[in-house]
Structure 1
Amino acid sequence: MPEAQTLATAAPALPDHDGWRSLLAALERAEAAVAAHPTPTPTGGER
């Protein structure tokens, strides 16, 4: 997701209006957690 990389790179130079930088940091932590724990592939009748 190149847009997120651009925002993350620009974030230190920009003011934190309404806490958007904190939200971006939380999103990055969530993405890292998902990447570290991939969803198992359903087997058989699971959907």
Structure 2
Amino acid sequence: MGPIIQNIIAFTVLALAILFLIRKFIWNPKKKNSKNCGGDDGCGCH
């Protein structure tokens, strides 16, 4: 493989990794915790 193709692949993987980390730790979507945990709905909080 040529060095240009290797650089493109490496920077693409780096960009995807950074995007994953930003979405995981910085950009927090709203969590769906509005459900009460009174029944046996398998939520695992008993």
The TM-score, its normalising length taken from structure 1, stands at: 0.45
* Larger fraction in helix: 1
Q: Which has the higher contact order (CA 8 A, sep 6+)?
A: 1
